[in-house]
Amino acid sequence: MKLIIVESPTKAKTLTRFLDDVYRIEASVGHVRDLPKSELGVDIEHDFAPKYIIPRNKKTRVKELKNLAKQADEVILATDPDREGEAIAWHIGTLLTVDSQQSTANNDDLVNHRYKRIVFHEITKSAILEALQYPRSIDMRLVDAQQARRILDRLVGYTLSPLLWKKLSRRWLSAGRVQSVATRLIVERERARARFVKESYWTISAEFSTSDGHRFIADLVAYNGVPYEQSVTIPLFDGLYTVTKTTIPDEASAKRIIDDIQAPFTLLSVDTKDVRRSPPPPYTTSSLQQDAGRRLGLSSKKIMQLAQRLYEEGYITYHRTDSVNLSNQFLRDARSYIQKTHGDQFISPEPRRYATKSKVAQEAHEAIRPTNISLRSKDLEGKEGIQQDHIRLYDLIWKRAVATQASDALFRSTTIRMQSVNTYVFQAKGSIIQFEGYLKILGRDVADVLLPQLSQGDSVQLVAATPTEHATNPPPRYTEASLVKALEEKDIGRPSTYASIISTILERQYVQKEEKALVPTDLGNAVTDFLVQYFPDIMSLPFTAIMEELLDQIARGERPWPPVVREFYLPFSKDLDHAQTVAEKVKLSEEKIGEQCPECGGDLVVKLGRYGKFIACSNFPSCSYRRQYRETIDRVCPKCGGAIVVKRTKTKRMFFGCVNYPSCDFAAWKKDQIP
């Protein structure tokens, strides 16, 4: 028997189908060893030596793997082909080879002597057979890069968090390389919105008619050769934001312009141009969360839960990936599907392959795609454990992946410009689809804008001009989807963590959701200000990118890992000492509710606890009176006239109920269900 170890149980099941029964395929189910949760686990005095333990929930798995390894003629470590996968392979190899009494020196040679390491990038029979032909040894440089990453994150997280407990007097607080910068993005965006000064401006549009009676709308764009539109670019913490407005400041100016326009109009130009549009790349974790979040209105967490199910049932490839690569088999299947269903003209001339932009992408998996192209979303209906949301998500994944192999869509866009005798220029833009191409599969997202057929010299008449008021908009708040996009662009976090980063900063109450938008709390602002003041490097956007550069040096074998960690740790620990001694305790404002404490007569205030707000006496700890905080809304109970308060179900879903519960049982899911 030959034992192959992979990370995911689903992958193990698939490989079992591909290979004959000489092979026994088992899953590690992720990492099997880690730093202990209850202590730092890094010996700073001795070259940052890590202390690894087997987490309790992994003990039985490791035992089973050990037993199987004993019986096996050969052990093949086939974990994912990336930094984390290489480390998992090494940890497994070490655990299976070395008993706990033995020193850890020179284990690596021993592991490599006993075990083979293979990698493959797609889960197909041919790819696995190929991989088995070319076993190698464990790449300790990659493993060391992972160890440096792990140790660095632990040092930051496990020293900054206790500092926050002390200086902000809240025992559940946390900080880390990823979560703290994610929170900062949201904090900085909110401040940019607060700084933003809204300006109102006006636009003028007019209805025109052609000589044969067709009517269309055009916008005023210029006078005397000078455009009305102007844009200003303002710098944000994480990029640039462009605000566009016109130079027409108020209604009076708009009316003056309209009065000044003098007929007749001459047709200046009719420009048509053909525009090709190519299909978007197949989904990665990040783009799936963005797109499904937008189109289906689901949270990142929910999307990943749904995708997990689709993956486990074998309907899609792995859903935690940063790769846009598609297997050759899939390309063939998609192309022949399109040809059969839609005809030759709908296939792209050449197979389309996509390249990943990100420098830190590890490309251990394929893009997210259906495993079986002939399985359509409607075929999933009624399947065990499959709900409507699974089907809708699968439909998005199927269409996006198949559409990559379809031909470009072709649009004809037309721009018509007209000028009055006194040089006012109006412009109308139209766009008509000429050839659907990939949109046949993905679906149309924009409607045709039709303009009348005109050619130079034709006459047009102005029917009526109307002014419209607008206001400039501040940069938008982040949503889960746009935050994930920003994190990915800045190379902060990994596909397997995007959803949990959001959960963490919500749980810590640094951020709250208002509708779809992420808004910082007082606590989030205070923690961010504190960290930015004392740890500007870690809180900066390029920090992770710089760290990745250093990890690459380790992975290329240019440097051993301990000096790299030291180079980071020395200045960091200086900042830490400085903050410990210099930083004042941060006081968070606690709002009085205008009510006296029934026990001691002191002021009652709203306090923030681990699980949210609660009401307590301002004389704590001498007085320990406390009760639950209830947020009221501006509606009254239709049954008894009592106040309506915000409540939560056991599963944390929000609903609205009467304060007089249980004597009054009125409840509603939505605000507008209450009269």
Place of tokens 């968070």: 588
- Residue 537, C-beta contacts closer than 8 angstroms, at least 6 positions apart: 543, 571, 572, 575
Helix axes 83-97, 140-168, angle to 10 degrees: 100
Q: Which is nearer to DNA, 352 or 508 (CB)?
A: 508
- CA quadruple 560, 561, 566, 571: dihedral sign: positive
3-class SS string, 171-218: CCCCCCCCHHHHHHHHHHHHHHHHHCCCCEEEEEEEEEEECCCCEEEE
Contact call for residues 518 and 511 (beta carbons, < 8 A): yes
Taking 3-state DSSP, the helix, strand and coil percentages for the chain, each rounded to the nearest 5, stand at 40, 25, 35
CA distances from 551 to 154, 369, 537, 561 (A): 15, 31, 17, 8
Q: Which is nearer to DNA, 3 or 617 (CB)?
A: 617
b/e string for 313-342 if b means 16 or more Cβ within 10 A? bebbbbbbbbbbbbbeebbebbbebbeeeb
> What one-character-per-residue DSSP string does 381-435 give?
TT-TT--HHHHHHHHHHHHHHHHTTBPPEEEEEEEEEEEETT-EEEEEEEEEEEE
Shortest Å distance, C-beta 439 to DNA: 32
- Distance from C-alpha of 146 to C-alpha of 155, rounded to nearest angstrom: 14
- Distance from C-alpha of 142 to C-alpha of 468, rounded to nearest angstrom: 60
Contact call for residues 32 and 63 (beta carbons, < 8 A): no
Question: What's the token pair of residue 229?
Answer: 């539109």
- Distance from C-alpha of 559 to C-alpha of 21, rounded to nearest angstrom: 43
- Residue 672, C-beta contacts closer than 8 angstroms, at least 6 positions apart: none
DSSP state for residue 587 in the 8-state scheme: P
Helix ranges (H only) for 43-139 are 59-71, 83-97, 107-114, 125-133
Question: What's the token pair of residue 151?
Answer: 């140790």
If we measure between CA atoms, which residue out of 342, 348, 401, 404 comes closest to residue 376?
Answer: 401
Residue 331 CA to its chain's centroid (Å): 27
Shortest Å distance, C-beta 346 to DNA: 34
Within 13 A of 187's CA, how many CA atoms are on the CB side? 22
Angle at 493 between CA 490 and CA 497, to 5 degrees: 145
Contact call for residues 245 and 230 (beta carbons, < 8 A): yes
* Euclidean distance between the first and the last CA atom of the chain, given in angstroms as a whole number: 70
Contact call for residues 140 and 148 (beta carbons, < 8 A): no
**Can you tell me whether residue 14 is helix, strand or coil?**
helix
b/e string for 572-582 if b means 16 or more Cβ within 10 A? beeebeebeee
Q: Which residues are catalytic?
A: 318
3-class SS string, 372-395: CCCCCHHHHCCCCCCCHHHHHHHH
Q: Which is nearer to DNA, 29 or 217 (CB)?
A: 29
Length of the chain: 675
- CA quadruple 247, 250, 256, 257: dihedral sign: positive
Q: What is the largest CA-CA distance in the chain?
A: 96
φ and ψ at 327, to 5 degrees?
A: -65, 155
- Distance from C-alpha of 539 to C-alpha of 492, rounded to nearest angstrom: 12
